[in-house]
A and B are shown apart, each in its own frame.
Chain A
Amino acid sequence: GENVEQHPSTLSVQEGDSAVIKCTYSDSASNYFPWYKQELGKRPQLIIDIRSNVGEKKDQRIAVTLNKTAKHFSLHITETQPEDSAVYFCAASIRNYGGSQGNLIFGKGTKLSVKP
């Protein structure tokens, strides 16, 4: 089955710097890659996602890149702010056209700390 590995487990940056979190996946059939942000004690919330027919997607300060050949995808946060401090999770799943969606397999998370 699918396995998702996420690095680093913790990341500390200075406010204004960029942060990059990387994930690798094992199943080449995976075609959907969401990223979730979870603040302490709260629910995970989707911040951006990418499908396998796209190599990069951007939403303001957040971008995700996908390398299908190498089976890895990355989250990029630019101009970090203290409110970006949270745990970030990557995930992968398979969506079968005309069929059901496979379950999300999550990475173990990255705790991002942005220092003012």
Chain B
Amino acid sequence: DGGITQSPKYLFRKEGQNVTLSCEQNLNHDAMYWYRQDPGQGLRLIYYSQIVNDFQKGDIAEGYSVSREKKESFPLTVTSAQKNPTAFYLCASTSGQGDLPDTQYFGPGTRLTVL
């Protein structure tokens, strides 16, 4: 899982601002995911992308946007429409190929705090 990086580690946002969280992987994985983690809530899927130039909404996509212009990169933008964005954000990736289930590897996370 060392092949996935996220930046920044900590991010502070003022109300009304859009912020972008970076996720990069050098594992040559096709599929990438964004999760939000709140205390006691587990991991909830925001967006996912199975292939370059394609992405799908997860369970809690409102107030977020993504792009997948390159295989290695899947940035997440937290928009001002997200009313409660303070959380720990995790990016993950999987190979997405073959017939057997493959491991989902996580990045180190970004902790976003709204001031």
A positions within 8 Å CB-CB of B: 6, 9, 31-32, 34, 36, 41-46, 49, 51, 89, 93, 95, 97-98, 100-101, 103-104, 106-109
Size bracket of the B interface: 20 to 34
Q: B58 to nearest A CB, angstroms?
A: 7
Q: Which of B43-51, B61-69, B72-80 contacts A (4 or more CB under 8 A)?
A: B43-51
B40 & A108 in contact (Cβ 8 Å cutoff): yes
B window 80-115: CB within 8 A of A: 90, 94, 96, 99-109
B42 & A109 in contact (Cβ 8 Å cutoff): yes
B1 within 8 A of A: yes
B99 & A43 in contact (Cβ 8 Å cutoff): no
Contacts A32-B101, A34-B103, A103-B33 given; indicate if A43 touches B1 (C-beta within 8 A): yes
B53 within 8 A of A: no
Contacts A42-B108, A43-B90, A45-B1 given; indicate if A101 touches B45 (C-beta within 8 A): no
Query: Which residues of B sit under 8 angstroms from A32, Cβ to Cβ?
Result: 101
Complex CA–CA separation, A104 to B106 (angstroms): 13
B41 within 8 A of A: yes
Query: Which residues of B sit under 8 angstroms from A109, Cβ to Cβ?
Result: 40, 42
A106 & B42 in contact (Cβ 8 Å cutoff): yes
Contacts A103-B58, A106-B42 given; indicate if A93 touches B101 (C-beta within 8 A): yes
